[in-house]
Every structure is written in C-alpha cells, then in structure tokens.
A and B are shown apart, each in its own frame.
Chain A
Amino acid sequence: MSKSKNKLTICYTSLECNSCKLLKKRKFFDGDFVFSSSENCSDCDGKMMITKIFGVTMD
C-alpha cells in the first residue's frame, strides 16, 4: 500500500486455479510474484497461479 498526495494505492493479486479455472482476487501478500503458484484452490485440489498484480488508486 502506498500513499501519494491525497491518493491511496492498494495492491491486489489476481489468481487463477490451474484445474477448475476459478478466479480469485485478494490483497497483495509479501512474496507474491506473477506466475508463482503457492496456494491451493478453495474449490478443488488444484494450485492457484498468480496471473496479475496491480494497483488500484483511490482519491
């Protein structure tokens, strides 16, 4: 999370399950990087892969 003048940017991580293609979005955790797969899918036994990491800025 970074703060510029009157602006707040929150970083999110998008994940996709390799098996059931479930999409998930959560806040960025330290150590996340795009195309890494560290978490398990909540719906099946598949692995979730990080597909995007991006910032959303709010005024």
Chain B
Amino acid sequence: MDFNFDEFVAWVGEDIDTLMMIVWILPVIIFVFYGQRIQLIISSNEIKKDIGKLEEYTASTKKDFLNYVKNNLTAKTDPSTKLDSFFDYFTIMPVDMDPNGIISKINHLVRSRENFIRLQINSMFSNLSSVELSKLQNLLEIVTTLQLFHKHTRHFYLTAKKQKNFPLILPLQMMIPFIMEEAVALKDAIPAIKNGQPIGDSIGPMIVGQMMLNITKESAAFETVWSKTTFEDRELFLLKAEGPNATVGRPGDGFEKIISHKKPNLVIMIDASLKLEGEDSASIAKGFGAAIGGIGTERFKIEEISTKNGIPILALVVKQSLYEAITLMTKDIADKANDVKEELYKMIRENTTSGQTILVIGVGNTIGVSQ
C-alpha cells in the first residue's frame, strides 16, 4: 500500500483526537515498562562520574604518598611494593551478636592494627622520627580510606547494573554526595599532613597546648602528655596528645592514669565538632558529655571512668565542617583559640569552687601543635 501524504493530512485534520491519543499513550507505555530502566541509566551515569572521581582521588593520593616517601625518607629497600600491599589491608570487626564486652575487643583490634602498621613502617626506613612516623600513618589511613570508598561504591554500582536492579542503586544515590564530600576532604588533607600543618581538628590540643607552655610535661599514656597547673585557687590537670606528632593520643588511658593520681571534681573536654548545615563555622558551643569522636573506644573509657567516680563531664566545642576539620586550619578557627580559652575559664569559675581540681582534655589530632 502506498503512503499518500495528502490523505494522511486529511485524516489527521478529520481525526486529530486519535493522533493526540497515540502521542500521549506511547510515552506512558514506555514509562510503564521501561521507566525503571531509564531512571537506572540516568542515576547510574551520575554515579559513574563520581566513581571515576573516586578512582582519580585514590590514584593521585597514592602517587602523592609514594612520592613523599621517596623524596623525604631514607628507605632500607624499595618501599613501594610493601606500602602498596598496606593499601589493601582490611579490618574484620568483632562479632556483635552478643555485644557484651565488644568495646575491649574493638579496642584490642584497633590497637593491634596501629601497632602492626607502626612496626612495619618503622622497619622500612632508617632514622625515622616519631613525627614522620605519625605522618606516614595518617597518610596511609587517607589512601586506604579513599581506596575503600572507591571499591565499595563501584561494587554497589556494578551489582545494580549487572542485575538491572534499580532499588539497589537508590541507597547509593542517596549516600554518594556524603561519600564525595568526605573523599574531597581526605584528598585535600594530604598537603597539610605532609607539611605537618595543624588541621581544624587540632584546635582542642592547640588551646590545651598553650596552657601547658613552660610547665613540666609528663607522659600520661602512649603519645599522650599531661601537666599540672593552677587557676584561681583551683588545681588544673591538662591532658592532650603529644605534639607536633600527627596523633590523637590515648586520652582514655591518660584519664585512667590521672585518676589514679588524684580524682578531679570536673572534666572539661575541648574538641572540634561537626557543624550542622546553617550553623556558622568556628562558632563556639557548650554542652554536657564526652566530646570525642573516633571509633568510640576512647569515649567509652572516659564515660566509664567518670561514671564510676561520679565526675561530671562538660564539653566545649568549636563548630566546623568535615572539610575544615581534616584540612589545613582556617584563620577563623585559629583566631577562636583565645575566645575558647576565655569560655573555658568562665566554665571553671561557674562550675567549681576554690580548692577543687579540674581536668581539661584537649581532644583531637595535634599535628603541627606542640605544648
């Protein structure tokens, strides 16, 4: 049958409703049967771009790390192969079906991993200072985390594509902005760590470190120091990680040692805290409870000791974004050190009386900050 255009135009003119019906129904049918697949294609394209970025971040930070090692440290043998194997190390968390006693298991696991990495790195280089060693541990942690992000995101993406499973890609689509935010922050943290510069998280140790100046410092625990001083007829115990190493120390163990010496009447913890969207960066906030992040083992220990001894814990935090917390300290945050110290003194005056003892803990990574 020959197609006659004039006849078709005449037919359309007569029966425009039929044509419009076809025009509307066709997309509806397509979306009913293929909607999920179309959505999967659109979403997966966005995720694919982010996975590409994650791969790029992992490769560039790995290259940065290996270059830093080659240019700044004296290796006994070529460290590349051994360091490369560290990037793939994984940690199997303890069984949590029976959560009783899980904290000590996690603590043991984390400490064992840290000790193992420390020993391995130490054995690879000659004349490695404690500052360099801690920097290497931090850099290694960054590369490993980025690699983990890349591998896991890629796994979910490929599984969803392979199985043409749209619901599987939804949680990934929701999580990817948060993963990317953290990945960018980790990537940008590399220069500060390499140069031994303070990061946003160093604000707590910076304030306590300043209070420790010209006072005798004693070891409280591994990579953790403490001092004794006075303030308006009160005894002050100061505790922080040992700087300028890139470490958070072991404030829980430090607290345990201090309490065996003398029981404080109040504990005040100064830390960086993640700001909520809309909150101002570098703003100061006060509250109750142990202000300390991480996997939770240190916080557990501090809470356990303070509960057993009936010691109240107050928190003083400097709000910042995740990016600010792990990259080079901003001027706004650095400028807040004196204000936080004033707040701390005000808190001590308001919550204690003369003759009492206060423990002040500067929580955070003390990279680039001594005492």
Contact = CB atoms under 8 A, between A and B. Distances in A.
A4 to B, nearest CB: 5
A56 B371 contact: no
B364 interface: no
Given A33-B368, A35-B210, A53 B188 contact: no
Contact of B206 (A1, A9, A28, A34): A34
Nearest to B370: A35
Contacts of A35: 209-210, 213, 243, 369-371
Contacts of B192: 2, 11, 55
Interface stretch (B28-36, B93-101, B195-203, B284-292): B195-203
* Size bin of chain A's contact surface: 20 to 34
Contacts of B369: 33-35
A34 B244 contact: yes
A30 interface: yes
Summarize A's interface: helix, strand, loop or mixed. strand
Contacts of B370: 33-36
A33 B191 contact: no
A32 B369 CA distance: 9
Contacts of A56: 331
Contacts of B328: 2, 9, 11, 54-55
Interface in A23-45: 28, 30-36
B89 to A, nearest CB: 27
B342 to A, nearest CB: 16
Interface string B163-191: 00000000000000000000010001011
B191 A34 contact: no
Interface string B201-240: 0100010011001000000000000000000000000000
A11 B333 CA distance: 14
B195 A54 contact: no
Interface in B277-322: none
Contact of B191 (A2, A54, A57): A2
Interface of A: 1-2, 4, 9, 11-12, 14, 28, 30-36, 52-57
Given A2-B190, A34-B206, A34-B368, 11 more contacts: A14-B334, A28-B195, A28-B197, A33-B370, A34-B198, A34-B202, A34-B243, A52-B329, A52-B337, A54-B331, A55-B329
What are the 9 tightest A-B residue pairs by CB atom distance, in nearest-first order?
A: A55-B328, A2-B191, A33-B244, A54-B334, A34-B369, A52-B334, A54-B331, A35-B370, A33-B368
14 contacts: A2-B192, A2-B328, A9-B328, A11-B192, A12-B331, A14-B334, A33-B368, A33-B370, A35-B213, A35-B369, A53-B198, A54-B333, A54-B334, A55-B328
